[in-house]
């Protein structure tokens, strides 16, 4: 989990990482800890609603980034060693990456309609926490 000050990560003397936190342990604790940190690092904005009242809105909807986090944990290629599931928050975007290519028959073009669990046992555990339902609905929510 990285929080970057700016829109590009810098290195050396221009290093602009303001938060760098790793999570290890049982997947349930990793997901809980990472989601708490993400929520604490995202900004909130004041907007004027259609009803002429101001309200506070999050920088990114929680359901979208949480789905991305859980999806990355559920479907990463765990055979790839030395690489990690990453969440990087920039000033202008949030990136969630996971080692490996898209699984089996899933492509960028069909991911909203095709479902394939690379790690079915992990998906089942995540479903027991009520974080997923294994119905291929999460991608639709993110879109």
- Averaged in consecutive runs of 10 residues, what is the pLDDT profile of the chain (143 residues)? 96 95 92 96 94 94 92 89 93 94 81 79 88 72 75
**What's 123's DSSP letter?**
H
Q: Using alpha carbons, select from 32, 1, 35 the residue that is nearest to residue 17.
A: 1
Query: What pLDDT was estimated at residue 134?
Result: 65
Strands lying side by side in the sheet with 86-89: 17-20, 2-4, 86-89, 94-97
pTM of the model: 0.84
Give every CB contact of residue 32 below 8 A, 6+ residues apart in sequence. Answer: none
Pairwise CA distance, residues 82 & 98, whole Å:
12
For the chain, what is the radius of gyration of the CA atoms? 17
Pairwise CA distance, residues 36 & 119, whole Å:
24
Query: What pLDDT was estimated at residue 47?
Result: 94
Distances (CA, A) of 116 to 3, 26, 101: 31, 23, 13
Count CB atoms within 10 A of the CB of residue 19: 13
């Amino acid at each position: 989990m990285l929080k970057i000050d700016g829109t590009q990560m810098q290195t050396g003397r221009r290093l602009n990482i303001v938060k760098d936190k790793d999570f290890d342990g049982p997947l349930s604790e990793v997901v809980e800890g990472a989601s708490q940190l993400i929520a604490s690092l995202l900004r909130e904005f004041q907007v004027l609603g259609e009803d002429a009242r101001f309200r506070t809105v999050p920088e990114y909807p929680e359901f979208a980034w949480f789905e991305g986090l859980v999806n990355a944990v559920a479907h990463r290629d765990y055979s790839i060693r030395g690489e990690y599931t990453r969440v990087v928050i920039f000033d202008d975007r949030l990136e969630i990456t996971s080692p490996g290519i898209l699984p089996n028959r899933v492509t960028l073009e069909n991911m909203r309609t095709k479902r394939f669990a690379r790690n079915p046992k992990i998906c089942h555990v995540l479903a027991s926490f009520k974080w997923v339902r294994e119905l291929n609905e999460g991608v639709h929510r993110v879109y």
